[in-house]
Structure 1
Amino acid sequence: MARKMGFYAVLAYVLYGFLVYWYLFYLADTSLPFEYQGSKADPATFMDGRELMLSEEYSKVRNLLFFLSAPLEWLIYFLILLTGLSKAFKKWGKDTTKNKYGRVAIYVIWLSFFSYLATFPLSYISYNLSRTYNISTQTFASWMKDELIDFWINYGMMLVIVAVLYLLIKKSRRFWWMFAWLLSIPFTLFIMFVQPILIDPLYNDFYPLKDKELETKILELASRAEIPSEHVFEVNMAEKTNSLNAYVTGIGSNSRIVLWDTTLNRLNDDQILFIMAHEMAHYVEKHLYIGIAGYLLLSLVGLYLTARLMNWLISRWGNEFKIKDPGDLASLPLFLMILSMLAFASSPLSNFVSRYQEARADRYAIEMTDNPEAAITSFQELSKAGLSQVNPPLLVKIFRYGHPTMLERISRLEEYEVQKRNNDS
């Protein structure tokens, strides 16, 4: 039975991959609606022929990799259960040490290592793709360094989470999901608080903005937005990417404004000020805290559904999965698989809310800077630097885009520009 389930799971993944490929490469229409052709949102007006071709090619492959990655994760966890690997990981921990937390540590390291190796080919293809299209400038050694940092940070957090989670399951079979959710609140806030000062510097060097004249302009903008910030930070991303970015990160006293050096190198001051005003809007309108509240609400529902689904699946296919009850550490791949599926299923909703917030931030930024030309050209440069599709396929927008499409963003700015011109005349 387990062999048959594994075969059908692999077959389903292969068929799913072909369907996604067919949709992205043959069915989806990314052409610009007639009414936008020739407008400033038309990529033909700010990209040359080669850039247009590369953006379509790169976006299609990148979107394909995105849609393949999450189901591949589910398949790996499913096969780890069916093949008895999860049970073996647990046995290795039990044979190695008598300490129950040591056993958890050994189990989690084996599961993390095996999962990483199984997904590594897709990760490498994604890295190599970005190198091929000159999005990434990162050497393989530098990329592997970041991958290893990711691995150990994720391992450390998972070790804590798993140890607490299975302790709760054993203490309360009915309400462990509620206790786990309550503990996740301070844990999430703590991670967000320490990320700018402890986690982010592991990947890149952060230092005060060198251009003091630009820093003064940004801090003046922050003062108008009533954002308590004394410094703007610059991060050295040029050695890793040609993409552009800027953001406001952290919570409480650790909040900071960050600019990628690629953004500083490619955009002028007016364009940067628009982008910074956009990021400041998230702070002003409390989008970060709304996002935290939304995440916590979704995680509550997700943990409840995960608990119910785990009980049902184990009662029905426990023998095939080689697990007897949810409190068995060997059930962790099932827990992770269900949680990942629910996160993927909820992504259209979270992306919809995010796109609404991003549209609000665009509106705030243009009203604060009152420079539609700088705003439009900044989005055009962002599209060129990232080889982004201006009008992506519908499913890509629903599942991938936490921002409005560039077609939507630039066309709205054009409308504002027309209104401003009419008001001035």
Structure 2
Amino acid sequence: MTKKWGLMAVAAFGLYAAAMYFYIFHGQNSGIPDVLQGSAADPSTFLTTQELLLSEELSKIRNFLFFVAGPLEWLLYFAILITGMSRVFEKWSSVQFKWSLFRTGMYVFLLSLVLFILRFPLDFYQYTVSKSYGISTQFFSSWMRDNVIDFWLDFGMSVITVSVLYWLIKKSPKRWWFYTWALTVPFSIFLMFIQPVVIDPIYNDFYPLKDKELETKILSLAEQADIPSDHVYEVNMSEKTNALNAYVTGIGENSRIVLWDTTLDRLTHDEILFIMAHEMGHYLLKDIYINIAVYLFMTFIGLWLIAKIMPRMINRYGSILKVKKLSNISSLPLFLLISSFLLFFSNPLSNAVSRYQEVRADEYAMELVENPEAAILTFQQLTKAGLGEVNPSTLVKWFRYSHPPMLERINKVAEQADEE
């Protein structure tokens, strides 16, 4: 029976991957509308022929990898369950340790290690693709270092969350999901508070903006927007990538506006000021707090659905999944499988909210700096540096794009400039 279910799962994944390959590489049409050809939004006006070719190739690879990575993860969780590997980890951990926390820690370590090894080929392939197309500048040793850091940070947080989760499941079989959600509220806020000052510096060096002339301009812009102006940083991302970026992170006193050094090196002051105005728009429009609220709402719905789905799956397919009870920690891969499934299909909703926020931030930046030429050049440079796809298909846009496609952003700025 296990072999049958395993073959069925592999066959289903294979058919899905083949269908997505055909759609991504041969079925979708993401060309430029006739009305916009030759405009500032047309990538042929600001990308070379070689860059256009590389952008098309890389976009297809990225899109395909995105759509197969999630289902591949589900397949891995399913394999760990039906082969009895999860149950073996649980039994071995129980034999080795008497205290519950240590048993949980050992189980989580074994599961995390197996998943790290199984995911590594795809992760490494994504790294080599980024490297071969000139996006990544990171040496393999540095890339592996980041992966090892990810592993141990995820392991530490997982031990805490899994221990609390299964303790709540045992104490309250019917309401565990609600209590778990209630605890995610302070935990999520705490992580967002410490991320800029504790977690992010583990990966990169952050320091105050070195360009004092630019700093003066940014402070002046922040003063116009009535925004606290002492949290502008740059980070040495050139050691890892050629892409450009800037972002807002953290909450309260630990909030930061961060500029990648690649952005500082390749964009003019006017273009950087547009980016800063965009990030200030996020700050003024309270997008960080809105994102927290959206995350907590979706987590509430997700945990409620998991609490409904998991017991039914265990009751019906427990013998196949090698899980006897929900409270057994061997059910964790099933929890992760369902979570990953729900997260994947929630992408269109969360991305739609994010794109709406980005449109508002763009509009605010246009009002603040009143420099549409700088805005257009900024969007073009961002596309050029990341070899981005300016006009993805609808399916790709729904599932992958947290920002409006560059075709839409550039065209909107150009239309506003024409109106003025």
Asked if residue 327 in structure 1 is aligned to residue 327 in structure 2, the reply is: yes
Alignment correspondent of 1:19: 19
Q: 2:199 matched to 1:199?
A: yes
Between the aligned partners of 1:209 and 1:384, the Cα distance in structure 2 is: 24
C-alpha offsets along residues 179-217 of structure 1, whole Å, 9 cap, x if unaligned?
000000000000000000000000000011110110111
Alignment correspondent of 1:338: 338
The residue number in structure 2 matching 1:145 is: 145
Cα distance between partner residues in 2 of 1:227 and 1:140: 40
**How far does residue 248 in structure 1 lie from its aligned partner after superposition?**
1.5
- Equivalent position amino acid for 1:229 in 2: S
- The one-letter code matched in structure 1 to 2:11 is L
Taking the TM superposition and a 5 Å limit, the aligned residue runs for 1:225-374 are 225-374=225-374
Secondary structure at 2:259 match in 1? strand
CA contact (8 A) 1:229 1:256 kept: no
User: 1:288-328 deviations in whole A, cap 9, x for unaligned?
Assistant: 11111011001001000001100110000011111111101
- Deviation of 1:62 after TM superposition, in Å, equals 1.0
Q: Given residue 411 of structure 1, which amino acid in structure 2 is its aligned partner?
A: N
The answer as to whether partners of 2:231 and 2:255 remain within 8 angstroms in 1 is: no
| Count of aligned positions | 420
How far the C-alpha of 1:231 sits from its partner, in A, is: 3.8
* CA displacement, residues 224-246 of structure 1 (integer Å, 9 cap, x when unaligned): 22222314211001111000001
- 1:423 matched residue in structure 2: none
**In structure 2, distance between residues paired with 1:150 and 1:221:** 36
Query: How far, CA to CA, are the matches of 1:106 and 1:92 in structure 2?
Result: 9
2:38 corresponds to which residue?
A: 38
**Unaligned runs of at least 5 residues, structure 1:** 421-425
In the other structure, the counterpart of 2:70 is: 70
Whether the 8 Å CA contact 2:93–2:103 is kept in 1: the answer is yes
Contact 1:274-1:375 at 8 Å conserved across structures: yes
Query: 1:4 offset after TM fit, Å?
Result: 1.1
1:376 alignment partner in structure 2: 376
Residue type at the aligned position of 2:309: L
Structure 2 Cα separation of the partners of residues 160 and 365 of structure 1: 41
How far residue 419 of structure 1 moved from its aligned partner, in angstroms, is 1.1
The alpha-carbon deviation at position 257 of structure 1 amounts to 1.3
- Residue 249 of structure 1 and its aligned partner are, at CA, apart by 1.1
Q: Distance in 2 between matches of 1:303 and 1:211?
A: 47
Q: Which amino acid aligns with 2:184?
A: S
Q: For 1:102 and 1:411, how far apart are their aligned partners in 2?
A: 57
Partner of 2:185: 185
Counterpart secondary structure, 1:238: helix
CA distance in 2, matches of 1:373, 1:229: 25
Structure 2 alignment gaps of length 5 or more: none
Alignment of 1:92-171 (within 5 A): 92-171=92-171
Q: Give 2:394's aligned residue.
A: 394
TM-score between both structures, scaled by the size of structure 1: 0.98
What is the SS of the residue equivalent to 2:134? coil
> Aligned residues: percent identity?
57
Letter in structure 1 aligned against 2:134: N
